[in-house]
Amino acid sequence: MKFEKLIHGKLIKRYKRFLADIVLDDGSEITAHVPNSGAMTSCIEDNCDVWITHHDNPKRKLKYTLELTKMGKELICTNTGVANKIAIEAIENGVITELQGYDNLKPEQKYGNQNSRIDILLWNNDSDKKCFVEIKSVSLNLGSTLAFPDAKTTRGQKHLEELRDMVKEGHRAVMLYIIQRTDYLPFRIAYEIDKKYNEIFEEVIKQGVEVLVYQSSINHEEIKVFKKVKFK
């Protein structure tokens, strides 16, 4: 996925989860939308380098969106919505080998009993068995590993349960974690942050939910999925 023109600045502060005050290189101060509901631990701090995009849409209240941050030497894509886009690209380009061989791919399809939408639905024309793929963006660095989630997530717990329900109905269900930072480390579930999520995760994988973890490469021009990551 190619980024739109990125604008560099320094973070003044992030607040109310979805807002960030930023000073641009020309000295002007702006407020950007932060498309990330998590704690963003280890991927943002006051005065860190940030890159934003500008959107000249009259319907938007905020004209800027936070896309990238830099912590030490590492670039991090903090826009969680990007994970779905690059996952679809990676499936269509054959990078995620485990999700090949399907005739159809549709994003954001309604499913389950809890009024949810699956990130990606895959299926073949000659089969009633579908493949449900839930995607999570990974940005938390715990030192020796990268991890998900970075905050308690009842929504994430529900998604795991719904994937399990799809397996019970005879379908294939896949939990796909996309790492959106450039420090290449193993991945694990952050059990110390959300014990309940970890418990449900352990349960559902025993019941047939598959787990895939893929790394993305990031620079100031593009972000793309490029390799499978060891699951610790």
Alpha-carbon distance of 40 to 49, in angstroms, equals 15
The alpha-helical segments, DSSP class H, found in 100-222 are 154-168, 195-206
Predicted local distance difference test score (pLDDT) of residue 113: 74
Buried b (16+ CB within 10 A) or exposed e, 52-62: bbeeeeeeeee
ω into 149 cis (within 30 of 0) = yes
Which residue's entry shows tokens 């702006």?
Answer: 30
- Reported as a single tens digit per residue, the pLDDT across 40-77 is 999 999 999 999 999 888 888 899 999 999 999 999 99
**Residue partners of 99: CB distance under 8 A and separation at least 6:** 91, 122, 131, 133, 174, 212
Q: What is the pTM of this model?
A: 0.95
- Reported as a single tens digit per residue, the pLDDT across 129-180 is 999 999 999 999 999 999 999 999 999 999 999 999 999 999 999 999 999 9
Predicted local distance difference test score (pLDDT) of residue 232: 63
What is the fold, at CATH topology level, of the domain defined by 7-77?
Answer: OB fold (Dihydrolipoamide Acetyltransferase, E2P) (2.40.50)
- Reported as a single tens digit per residue, the pLDDT across 8-47 is 999 999 999 999 999 999 999 999 999 999 999 999 999 9
Predicted local distance difference test score (pLDDT) of residue 60: 84
- Reported as a single tens digit per residue, the pLDDT across 188-225 is 999 999 999 999 999 999 999 999 999 999 999 999 99
| Reduced 3-state DSSP string for 45-98 | CCCCEEEEEECCCCCCCCCEEEEEEEECCEEEECCCCHHHHHHHHHHHCCCCHH
What is the fold, at CATH topology level, of the domain defined by 82-228?
Answer: Trna Endonuclease; Chain: A, domain 1 (3.40.1350)
Q: With 0-12 CB in 10 A as exposed, 13-18 as middle and 19+ as buried, what is 22? A: buried
Maximum separation of any 2 CA atoms in the chain, in Å: 59
The domain locations on the chain are: 7-77, 82-228
- Residues 89 and 1: beta-carbon distance below 8 Å: yes
Helix (H, G, I), strand (E, B) or coil at 203: helix
Sheet order of strands, 146-148 included = 140-141, 146-148, 187-189
Under DSSP, the state recorded for 224 is E
| For residue 80, pLDDT beyond 80 | yes
Predicted local distance difference test score (pLDDT) of residue 231: 81
Predicted local distance difference test score (pLDDT) of residue 59: 82
